[in-house]
Amino acid sequence: MAKPLWTSDQIAAATGGRATAGFTASGVSIDSRSVEHGDLFVALEGARDGHEFVPGATALGAAGALASKPIAGPAVMVADTFKALEKLGETARVRASGALRGAVTGSVGKTSVTRAVEAGLRLAGRAHASVKSYNNHIGVPLTLARMPADTERAVFEIGMNHAGEIGPLSRMVRPHVVAITTVGPVHIENFPDGEAGVAKAKAEIFEGLERGGAAVLNADDAWFPMLRDTAVAAGAKVMSFGAASDAHARLVSFTPRAGGADVEAMIGGETVRYSLLQAGVHWGPNSLCVLLMLEAMGVDRTTALQALAAFAPLEGRGAERQVAVEGGAFTLIDESYNANPISMAAALRSLGNRAVPGRRIVALTDMLELGLDGPKFHAGLADPIAGARVDEVFCAGPLMAHLWEALPLNRRGGYAGTADELAPLVAGAVGPGDAVMVKGSNGSRAGRIAAVLAGGSV
């Protein structure tokens, strides 16, 4: 029988709480809709009071609850459930004393890199990782609290919207290896000093880095010198990746092909060739970031390359499918999870590199949190769209109206105020052999367009 993740006595000791009854938990959940049998349900108080959902969690099989108000059923009572979750996470980190911990942040690519690192860790032994994009002040302690005591290696995603958010999370995780995928104009409306502020906020990840740990950094990034110097001041060994001639892992070539790409790199002076299921050009540097993280976490290169070769694009982050239409099928490239100027340019470049029997079509919704420069960033997409030889552009949202105005008439496919209004216009325009990329920010609902287009998937 598997050892329980937590007993009620352990939870009480970790949180300073009081158990109302004895129970054992095999997992930890904060969402009553996704509770699995045996979970500890943490009743967080936010826009809705989590205590209201304890009965629903119990009905789905929750073993007990972490609560600050009287509830029915087994519970550990605490003064503040959020602070108790943090304490539970920190206790989990301490008790898994043999685990090597990695942490990933960056303006673009952190979720995909985290998932790819996880794939390598799982091939190498007992591993643990963030799920979905659980990278904030709730997701990080939750991921820690879910970590089994016998974990050998773990990787955590750490994100932010404002300055001062990454530092506390890094100090909670206390990683041995950190990576910053890249720095760019993301959430920039929250930073008076612009991209420099974003870079400083990403550098907060070094605050929790264990002394003598490794920092995996993008040598092609404009902020690399500052990040490198900050990492060295924190006692880190810097490992760089990119096309730069002096990068520890240097990208020599990235060649897209049907179903993926072939990569050649120089890593520590050795030529390494490998294949990916990812065709996006950003996966050249991303894959090198993954390889360096895995190397720093004690995973041999053969295992790391095996994991990369099998790592498929994530839903909403480049996943592809064939969708039936009259006379054949078109290729849907779903990049709808999120968007910013860096990821948009990379996605367009990747589309331009594809061999497409029909037309290249893009359906784009607003990129959010860009502040006063939002209109400029959107209008500026006209050039990479031309460079990618896109045939038709469909736009939705008030910010994308600036791109629409910047487009030549022969590229204008259609414009609508919202993603829901644009979706049928795109669906009515695509034909056999076309490659259709959908991309935009979560808040502008690009996923709605992808869902409509995917309706005829084959």
What's 213's domain CATH number? 3.40.1190.10
- Reading the block at residue 415, the tokens are 């414009």
> What is the b/e burial string over 367-381, where b = at least 16 CB atoms within 10 angstroms of the residue's CB?
bbbbeeebbebbbbb
Residue 284 CA to residue 353 CA, distance in Å, equals 14
The pLDDT of residue 443 is above 50: yes
User: Residue 161's pLDDT band (boundaries 50, 70, 90)?
Assistant: confident
Residue 295 CA to residue 311 CA, distance in Å, equals 17
Any domain includes 89: no
Residues 10, 30, single domain; the answer is yes
pLDDT score recorded for residue 29: 96
The pLDDT of residue 420 is above 60: yes
Residues 216, 274, single domain; the answer is yes
Residues 167, 242, single domain; the answer is yes
The pLDDT of residue 1 is above 60: no
What average pLDDT does this structure show over 258-276? 94
pLDDT tens figures, 371-398: 889 999 999 999 999 999 999 999 999 9
What average pLDDT does this structure show over 171-180? 98
The answer for residues whose C-beta is within 8 angstroms of residue 438's C-beta and 6 or more apart is: 332, 333, 334, 335, 336, 362, 363, 364, 426, 446, 447, 449, 450, 453
Any domain includes 90: no
The SS3 call for residue 98 is coil
pLDDT score recorded for residue 435: 96
Query: How high is the mean pLDDT of the chain?
Result: 94
pLDDT score recorded for residue 458: 42
Q: Work out whether the CA dihedral 292, 297, 303, 306 comes out positive or negative.
A: negative
For residue 209, the 8-state DSSP code is P
For residue 258, the 8-state DSSP code is T
pLDDT tens figures, 144-155: 999 999 999 999
Residue 21 CA to residue 267 CA, distance in Å, equals 55
The whole domain housing 61 covers 6-81
In the block, which residue shows the tokens 């990479």?
384
Residue 78 CA to residue 309 CA, distance in Å, equals 46
pLDDT score recorded for residue 456: 53
| Domains held by the chain: number | 3
Strand partners, 239: 216
Query: Which residue type is seen at 190?
Result: N
Any domain includes 75: yes
For residue 457, the 8-state DSSP code is B
pLDDT score recorded for residue 457: 47
The SS3 call for residue 140 is helix
Polymer length in residues for the chain: 458
pLDDT score recorded for residue 187: 77
- Structural domain ending residue among the three candidates 288, 310, 332: 310
Residue 402 CA to residue 199 CA, distance in Å, equals 27
Q: Work out whether the CA dihedral 137, 139, 145, 148 comes out positive or negative.
A: negative
- Structural domain ending residue among the three candidates 282, 310, 338: 310
Residue 230 CA to residue 204 CA, distance in Å, equals 9
Residues 153, 242, single domain; the answer is yes
Residues 118, 250, single domain; the answer is yes
Residues 304, 397, single domain; the answer is no
Query: Range with the lowest mean pLDDT among 229-238, 316-325, 433-442?
Result: 316-325
- Structural domain ending residue among the three candidates 310, 336, 352: 310
Any domain includes 302: yes
Q: CATH no. for residue 35?
A: 3.40.1390.10
pLDDT score recorded for residue 257: 87
pLDDT tens figures, 59-106: 999 999 999 999 999 999 999 999 999 999 999 999 999 999 999 999
**Alpha helix ranges (H) inside 107-257:** 110-124, 139-145, 166-173, 195-202, 224-233
Residues of the chain above pLDDT 70, percent: 99
pLDDT tens figures, 42-52: 999 988 899 99
The SS3 call for residue 87 is helix
Residues 165, 269, single domain; the answer is yes
